[in-house]
């Protein structure tokens, strides 16, 4: 259970009036262009920067994917990756700037305890800089296949295998010892809050792809998915009546840690319609639950003339199956331009996440235990069907260098926040929808390729804030918004090329090196050679 020392130092307080808030926003935007990212919410399936390259191309890759995102978007595309390759992508810096309206007084006040309490400057601005890894994959040929009739195309009958580990969803947000002080009439308020929560989905497993003809490729992947959610909250509030010297204090502390392990499959195909246009389809199957774990605790205290305490702790189940998804895409490839448009349909879920725990509740009043009982905690978060779209483009400046960019939507599938609710009835605090835009460049060499760029994010919606001036403490929805960007470095390394170079260096050291061959022109696996004029 979270321990909270109070009151915190006044310097921990983050409050912004209109002018100062605007200046902070401009500064945050400038910092964001240097390498930042928004924190991402549960229920936003396009949140993680999967694959690096795909993230910069608007989250696309159902037809033309060749990076670490390929096994998770459409495993049929990995047959495009030649030879043995390690694909990597990294989110080196992630910056988030979030504004929470009316955070310290989000809803109605219990007038019997606090009178007509009206506080000013209760909006909070929070920002942070983090670093996170993304995806790593190893690709290799299982069967080389026979050369097709068109020498520009991949070998017919070729089979490619891959082993991947990736973060497919992420959400981290929090602040420590966030202090607030204010006055309303004869009442003086001092408050401190600490909030931390993290949601993440990690997937690992093998993938396989087969080129059945010079037009058709198919693939499948199996993944073990670990969904982990942790949260901790501490709120301490003191309201003093300066006219009488009386005071009311309330504290709220809660913590939860849950793990859900599931297995699922991705199935996909790609088909070349003409020399320019191609299409792709992939399905993420319903998952099979493997096992889970949950631990949770809670304590709230209200001190007026007497002190009343409610405490409980328990353990049980945390089930969070990944949603079933159908993805379709179309692409066009010319000698200097590639375009891809993808759509992602996520099925609704009656149980996006479910908590079921057996707990022991203890009530204390006036320094004595008044009750002790066993009870059951059940919380279910639902998800609606959601459609997201992504558009990506790659323009070749030279044969070895291209510019990439794209945009994609990221709608929230969780049910909206309506009115005040019990603090023990919700798992997730956010309901924000967003949009992502990426921009970068790709350099192609005979050793592999390197992707460098940034993805920018904007999201807006609601967040559930803890109303410490209600009895019992409850959640009230407030408006919030967030922006940021992520510095992305990604690429592929050809292991065969590395081995050849190492062998050539060894021969040169021994004095037995052959004359160097003519420099080979690098070829990006997705791109046919440029047409002759």
Within 13 A of 5's CA, how many CA atoms are on the CB side?
A: 3
What's the average model confidence in pLDDT over 175-189? 89
CA distances (Å), 463 to each of 13, 23, 192, 389, in order? 19, 24, 18, 25
Instruction: Read off the pTM.
Output: 0.81
- Residue 305: partners with Cβ closer than 8 Å, 6 or more residues away: none
Lowest mean pLDDT among 220-229, 387-396, 458-467: 458-467
Bigger pLDDT: 38 vs 423:
423
- What would the pLDDT profile of 82-124 be if each residue is shown by its tens digit? 766 676 666 566 777 888 888 888 888 888 888 888 888 888 8
Q: What is the DSSP letter of 446?
A: T
Domains of the chain: 10-510 (2.40.160.60)
- What would the pLDDT profile of 276-308 be if each residue is shown by its tens digit? 999 999 999 999 999 999 999 999 999 988 899
What's the rounded Cα separation, in Å, for the pair 478 and 501? 59
- Residue 199: partners with Cβ closer than 8 Å, 6 or more residues away: 42, 169, 170, 171, 172, 227, 228, 229, 428
Q: Which residue has the tokens 């080389």?
A: 144
- Give the per-residue pLDDT at 518: 52
Residue 67 pLDDT more than 80? yes
Lowest mean pLDDT among 124-133, 197-206, 343-352, 511-520: 511-520
- Residue 263: partners with Cβ closer than 8 Å, 6 or more residues away: 222, 223, 224, 225, 287, 288, 290
What's the average model confidence in pLDDT over 216-245? 93
Do the bridges between strand 349-365 and strand 277-284 make them parallel or antiparallel, or are there none, so unpaired? Answer: unpaired
- What would the pLDDT profile of 244-266 be if each residue is shown by its tens digit? 888 999 999 999 999 999 999 99
What's the rounded Cα separation, in Å, for the pair 12 and 172? 20
């Amino acid at each position: 259970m979270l321990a909270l020392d109070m009151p915190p130092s006044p310097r921990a307080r983050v409050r912004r009036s209109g002018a100062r808030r605007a200046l902070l926003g401009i500064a945050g935007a400038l910092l964001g262009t240097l390498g930042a990212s928004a924190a991402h919410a549960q229920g936003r399936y396009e949140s993680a920067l999967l694959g690096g390259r795909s993230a910069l191309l608007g989250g696309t890759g159902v037809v033309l994917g060749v990076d670490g995102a390929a096994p998770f978007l459409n495993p049929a595309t990995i047959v495009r990756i030649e030879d043995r390759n390690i694909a990597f992508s990294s989110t080196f810096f992630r910056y988030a700037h979030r504004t929470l309206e009316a955070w310290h007084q989000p809803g109605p006040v219990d007038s019997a305890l606090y009178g007509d309490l009206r506080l000013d400057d209760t909006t909070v601005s929070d920002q942070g800089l983090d670093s996170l890894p993304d995806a790593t994959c190893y690709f290799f040929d299982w069967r080389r296949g026979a050369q097709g009739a068109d020498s520009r195309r991949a070998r017919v009958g070729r089979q490619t295998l891959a082993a991947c580990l990736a973060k497919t969803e992420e959400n981290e947000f929090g602040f420590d010892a966030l202090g607030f002080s204010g006055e309303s009439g004869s009442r003086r308020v001092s408050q401190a809050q600490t909030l931390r929560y993290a949601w993440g989905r990690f997937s690992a497993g093998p993938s396989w792809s087969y080129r059945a003809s010079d037009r058709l490729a198919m693939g499948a992947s199996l993944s073990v998915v670990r969904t982990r959610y942790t949260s901790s909250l501490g709120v301490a509030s003191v309201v003093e009546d300066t006219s009488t010297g009386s005071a009311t204090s309330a504290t709220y502390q809660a913590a939860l840690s849950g793990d859900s392990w599931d297995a699922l499959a991705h199935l996909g195909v790609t088909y070349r319609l003409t020399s320019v246009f191609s299409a792709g389809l992939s399905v993420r199957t319903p998952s099979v639950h493997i096992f889970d774990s949950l631990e949770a605790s809670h304590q709230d205290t209200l001190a007026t003339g007497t002190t009343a305490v409610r405490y409980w702790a328990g353990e049980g189940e945390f089930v969070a199956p990944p949603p079933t998804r159908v993805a379709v895409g179309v692409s066009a490839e010319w000698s200097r331009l590639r375009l891809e448009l993808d759509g992602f349909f996520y099925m609704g879920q009656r149980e996006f996440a479910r908590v079921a725990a057996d707990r022991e509740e203890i009530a204390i009043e006036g320094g004595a235990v008044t009750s002790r009982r066993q009870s059951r905690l059940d919380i279910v978060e639902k998800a609606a069907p959601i459609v997201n779209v992504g558009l990506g483009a790659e323009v070749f400046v030279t044969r070895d260098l291209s510019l990439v960019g794209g945009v994609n939507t990221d709608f929230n599938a969780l049910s909206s926040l309506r009115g005040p609710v019990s603090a023990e009835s919700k798992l997730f605090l956010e309901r924000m929808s967003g949009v992502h835009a990426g921009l970068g460049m790709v350099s192609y060499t005979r050793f592999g390729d390197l992707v460098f760029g940034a993805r920018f994010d904007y999201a807006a919606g609601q967040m559930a804030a803890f109303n410490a001036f209600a009895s019992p403490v409850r959640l009230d929805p407030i408006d919030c918004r967030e922006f940021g960007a992520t510095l992305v470095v990604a690429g592929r390394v050809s292991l065969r090329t590395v081995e050849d170079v190492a062998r050539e260096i060894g021969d040169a050291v021994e004095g037995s090196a052959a004359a160097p061959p003519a420099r080979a022109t690098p070829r990006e696996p997705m791109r046919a050679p440029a047409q002759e004029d």
